[in-house]
């Protein structure tokens, strides 16, 4: 990891040399603030240097503006020479609606770093305002750009879309600005000055630096930035620090902490050392990251929300929970008087659904001084990193009830079936520490439930699965799971028979509920010339062009290798002259829906019909592999020779072994 703040004591009372650098080689940007979450990343796709570069990575189909910023706590441009360096690659031709700029300093974070925002500061780039494609420095006042230095270096004419460029900006203490560029493979070894020198002293205090990127739908993901460094001065104290607060973090967090009241998980002490500047430490934002013993890699899978409380925010402010960080941003939210300290407490509450984590997973929080954003008018942090503790904040799921899962609604007489019982909290999360016995019984039945291993079994890691349950009567029954100290669970009705239907539809209800059409309203449960009863499934679309129409019904849980299957249907196809473009076929099984149910579609399964492939007009059974048909059975029945005006009945059987 190479992201640092450096402090070199030059004048014991009056001034510090300060540096911010980021080469993104740690592969993460959790301490950066994005205007829209997840639009930027430390990416290993075509990095400018090393393994990772900052990359605008969201591929969208709309025009947009993306910004990202980092704290520059306490930089004072009037205290000495300030130097900015960064590498950049822009893979598109710049224009008024496709352009980039780097905010050298700003009093606002990423959300305001755009021409419609409220930021004040300075930016360098191409076409922040205007469309002449030259590199300029703008003074930014309430978002609007005012040129202070035009280098007359034309980016579109002189830089290719695959070229990496090194840029350096230098500002003296008296406000003289100059720009240098390295076009020889990027880096900063061959810097030459472009343009002259310009003077502007409007703004001297920095709170943030950042990147602004405007793009149309075809020009997103085209900007890379790397090897950022800012070196300058700050006349305020840079020795505010972080220590542990006085509260003890909890050993466990109940999985039932689901309301916004939350529970305290981290207590930090923030101190202004009061060395010399007489100014307070004013905090505009801070970011809690994951500690070294954290088990939950994606906090959004467990943490529903977070609040920060303390003397200056007694009612609390709510933070943003990201996958690896909790971010609090509010200008002036904390003001620590010169030479004093204050305790601040992080509260969180959990999601009700914790299925993506494991009982006893630890949440460890870390606060590092580099992730505290301070106002440039006051002191800033120079050291301190604390964690909430390796053995604290373990998520504790305590079972209060049993939950039957993976329970079938249909079983075959005297045939094995499976069922799982879990010990869960009221939200359905599994308590892996539960170890009691679970007993299965039946109600509303006449038969007997049995298992070769027994109907009373111990929970292991909070659950037990039976794989050899059998029922011995043609009946409808329910299963009750019970355990001492836990609320019982009762299954849905389970039907037991010598066989059972996956699908049984005679269409006499007059609707197609559960059926999915490839072309909307192209099929109907029709009373026009029904085969049996009042209604039959009928393809009713009268198309003016050739169509490959289809309708499908989902059959989850069908396992051809588990048992014998029988398909039966009646059909009528009145075309006595089928062809390669006029034919019918019934998919007996398929791994895809009706959108792929045609010759050459991306589908696997079995199909019975006429001319699914070929034009011999014979009724055949094919196996379909990625749309390619292999003939398995040729019935020899020529559709042209039969009476097409009369319905035909079909029965197809398949054994579990594939016959």
Res 314: pLDDT: 95
On whether residue 509 sits in a domain, the answer given is no
Q: Are residues 280 and 163 in the same domain?
A: no
**Domain end marker among 450, 469, 497:** 497
Res 232: pLDDT: 81
On whether residue 502 sits in a domain, the answer given is no
User: Domain containing 53 — which CATH number?
Assistant: 2.60.120.200
> Residue 561's pLDDT band (boundaries 50, 70, 90)?
confident
Per-residue model confidence as pLDDT tens digits over 524-538: 999 999 999 999 999
What helix, strand, coil percent values describe the chain, rounded to 5?
5, 50, 50
* Residues 175, 93: Cα–Cα separation, whole Å: 32
* Residues 73, 109: Cα–Cα separation, whole Å: 12
Average pLDDT rounded to a whole number, residues 321-337? 92
* Residues 607, 621: Cα–Cα separation, whole Å: 6
Its domain, for residue 40, covers 3-234
> Residue 503's pLDDT band (boundaries 50, 70, 90)?
confident
Residue that is written with structure tokens 């441009």 in the block: 77
Per-residue model confidence as pLDDT tens digits over 30-71: 889 999 999 999 999 999 999 999 999 999 889 999 999 998
Over 90: is that where the pLDDT of 296 sits?
yes
On whether residue 506 sits in a domain, the answer given is no
Could you give the percent of the chain with pLDDT greater than 90?
A: 69
Question: Measured between alpha carbons, how far is residue 525 from residues 225, 235, 506, 554, 651 in Å?
Answer: 61, 82, 9, 18, 22
Least confident segment among 18-32, 143-157, 407-421, 456-470: 18-32
Query: pTM of the predicted model, to two decimals?
Result: 0.59
Least confident segment among 100-114, 241-255, 434-448, 561-575: 561-575
Q: Between residues 284 and 264, which one has the greater pLDDT?
A: 264
Q: Are residues 346 and 442 in the same domain?
A: no
* Residues 339, 541: Cα–Cα separation, whole Å: 82
Res 577: pLDDT: 83
**Domain end marker among 497, 526, 552:** 497
Over 60: is that where the pLDDT of 1 sits?
no
> Residue 597's pLDDT band (boundaries 50, 70, 90)?
confident
* Residues 458, 483: Cα–Cα separation, whole Å: 10
On whether residue 436 sits in a domain, the answer given is yes
On whether residue 640 sits in a domain, the answer given is yes
Q: Are residues 55 and 191 in the same domain?
A: yes
Res 478: pLDDT: 96
**Domain end marker among 371, 396, 421:** 396
Q: Are residues 250 and 306 in the same domain?
A: yes
Over 60: is that where the pLDDT of 4 sits?
no
Helix (H) or strand (E) holding 374: strand 372-374
Average pLDDT rounded to a whole number, residues 150-169? 96
Contact 450, 469 (CB under 8 A): yes
Res 309: pLDDT: 97
* Residues 137, 149: Cα–Cα separation, whole Å: 5
Per-residue model confidence as pLDDT tens digits over 344-373: 999 999 999 999 999 999 999 999 998 888
Per-residue model confidence as pLDDT tens digits over 386-395: 999 999 999 9
Per-residue model confidence as pLDDT tens digits over 576-592: 788 888 888 999 988 88
Domain count, the chain: 4
Q: Between residues 152 and 1, which one has the greater pLDDT?
A: 152
β 313-318/365-368 pair status: unpaired
Contacts of 384 (CB under 8 A, 6+ apart): 241, 242, 243, 367, 368, 369
Q: Which two tokens stand for residue 507?
A: 């269409």
Res 5: pLDDT: 37
Res 7: pLDDT: 35
Q: Are residues 346 and 443 in the same domain?
A: no
Average pLDDT rounded to a whole number, residues 545-563? 81
How many C-beta atoms lie closer than 10 Å to residue 602's C-beta?
Answer: 10
Average pLDDT rounded to a whole number, residues 152-169? 96
Burial of 293 (0-12, 13-18, 19+ CB in 10 A): middle
Q: Are residues 94 and 17 in the same domain?
A: yes
* Residues 537, 505: Cα–Cα separation, whole Å: 10
Average pLDDT rounded to a whole number, residues 495-502? 80
Per-residue model confidence as pLDDT tens digits over 76-135: 888 789 999 999 999 999 999 999 999 999 999 999 999 999 999 999 999 999 999 999
The strand pairing partners of 299, in sequence order, are none
Contacts of 520 (CB under 8 A, 6+ apart): none
Residue that is written with structure tokens 């749309």 in the block: 627
On whether residue 504 sits in a domain, the answer given is no
Q: Are residues 648 and 592 in the same domain?
A: yes
On whether residue 615 sits in a domain, the answer given is yes
User: Domain containing 335 — which CATH number?
Assistant: 2.60.40
Q: Are residues 456 and 484 in the same domain?
A: yes
Res 600: pLDDT: 65
How many C-beta atoms lie closer than 10 Å to residue 324's C-beta?
Answer: 18
Average of per-residue pLDDT values in the chain: 90
Q: Are residues 490 and 563 in the same domain?
A: no
* Residues 420, 397: Cα–Cα separation, whole Å: 19
On whether residue 74 sits in a domain, the answer given is yes
Q: Are residues 166 and 24 in the same domain?
A: yes
User: Domain containing 440 — which CATH number?
Assistant: 2.60.40.10
> Residue 18's pLDDT band (boundaries 50, 70, 90)?
low
Contact 71, 374 (CB under 8 A): yes
Over 90: is that where the pLDDT of 479 sits?
yes
Q: Is the four-CA dihedral 623, 628, 630, 635 of positive or negative sign?
A: positive
Residue that is written with structure tokens 């076409």 in the block: 127
Q: Are residues 270 and 391 in the same domain?
A: yes
Q: Are residues 487 and 580 in the same domain?
A: no
Q: Which two tokens stand for residue 558?
A: 């069908």
């Amino acid at each position: 990891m190479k992201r640092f703040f450096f402090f070199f004591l030059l004048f014991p009372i009056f001034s510090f040399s300060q540096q911010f650098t980021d080469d993104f080689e740690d592969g993460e940007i959790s301490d950066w603030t994005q205007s829209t979450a997840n639009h930027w990343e430390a990416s290993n796709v075509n990095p400018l240097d090393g393994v990772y570069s900052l990359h605008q990575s969201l591929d969208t189909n709309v025009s947009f503006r993306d910004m990202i910023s980092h704290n520059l706590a306490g930089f004072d441009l009037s205290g000495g020479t300030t130097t900015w360096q960064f590498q950049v690659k822009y893979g598109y031709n710049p224009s008024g609606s496709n352009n980039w700029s780097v905010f050298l300093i700003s009093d606002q974070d990423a959300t305001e770093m755009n021409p419609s925002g409220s930021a004040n500061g300075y930016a360098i780039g191409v076409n922040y305002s205007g469309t002449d494609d030259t590199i300029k420095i703008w003074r930014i006042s309430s978002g609007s750009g005012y040129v202070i230095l035009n280098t007359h270096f034309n980016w579109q004419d002189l830089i290719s879309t695959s070229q990496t460029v090194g840029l350096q900006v230098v500002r003296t203490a008296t406000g003289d600005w100059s720009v240098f560029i390295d076009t020889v493979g990027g880096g900063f070894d061959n810097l030459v000055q472009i343009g002259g020198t310009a003077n502007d002293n409007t703004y001297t205090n920095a709170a943030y630096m950042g990147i602004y990127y405007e793009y149309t739908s075809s020009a997103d993901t085209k900007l890379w930035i790397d090897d950022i460094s800012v070196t300058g001065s700050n006349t305020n104290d840079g020795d505010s620090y972080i220590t542990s607060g006085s509260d003890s973090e909890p050993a466990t967090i109940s999985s039932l902490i689901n309301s916004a009241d939350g529970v305290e998980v981290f207590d930090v002490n923030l101190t202004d050392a009061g060395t010399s500047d007489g100014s307070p430490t004013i905090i505009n934002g801070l970011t809690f990251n994951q500690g070294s013993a954290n088990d939950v890699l994606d906090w959004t899978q467990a943490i529903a929300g977070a609040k920060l409380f303390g003397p200056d925010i007694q009612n609390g402010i709510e933070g943003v929970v990201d996958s690896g960080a909790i971010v609090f941003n509010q200008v002036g939210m904390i003001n620590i008087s010169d030479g004093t300290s204050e305790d601040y407490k992080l509260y969180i509450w959990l999601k009700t659904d914790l299925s993506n984590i494991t009982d006893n997973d630890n949440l460890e929080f870390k606060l590092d001084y580099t992730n505290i954003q301070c106002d440039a008018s006051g002191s800033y942090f120079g050291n301190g990193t604390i964690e909430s503790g390796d053995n604290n904040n373990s998520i504790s799921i305590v079972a209060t009830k049993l939950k039957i899962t993976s329970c079938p609604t249909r079983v075959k007489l005297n045939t094995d079936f499976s069922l799982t019982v879990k010990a869960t909290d009221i939200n359905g999360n599994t308590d892996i520490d539960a170890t009691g016995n679970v007993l299965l019984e039946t109600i509303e039945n006449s038969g007997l439930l049995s298992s070769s291993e027994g109907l009373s079994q111990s929970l292991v890691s909070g659950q037990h699965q039976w794989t050899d349950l059998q029922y011995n009567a043609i009946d409808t029954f329910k299963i009750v799971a019970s355990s001492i100290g836990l609320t019982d669970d009762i299954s849905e009705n389970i039907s037991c028979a010598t066989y059972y239907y996956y699908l049984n539809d005679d269409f006499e209800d007059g609707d197609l509920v559960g059926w999915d059409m490839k072309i909307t309203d192209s099929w109907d449960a029709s009373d026009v010339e029904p085969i049996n009863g009042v209604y039959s499934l009928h393809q009713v679309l009268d198309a003016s062009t050739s169509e490959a129409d289809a309708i499908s019904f989902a059959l989850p849980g069908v396992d051809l290798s588990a048992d014998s299957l029988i398909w039966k249907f009646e059909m009528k196809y009145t075309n006595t002259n089928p062809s390669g473009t006029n034919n019918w076929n019934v998919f007996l099984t398929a791994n895809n829906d009706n959108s792929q149910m045609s010759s050459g579609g991306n589908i696997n399964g079995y199909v019975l019909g006429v001319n699914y492939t070929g034009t011999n007009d014979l009724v055949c059974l094919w196996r379909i592999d990625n749309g390619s048909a292999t003939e398995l059975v040729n019935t020899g029945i020529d559709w042209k020779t039969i009476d097409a005006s009369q319905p035909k009945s079909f029965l197809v059987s398949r054994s579990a072994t594939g016959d």
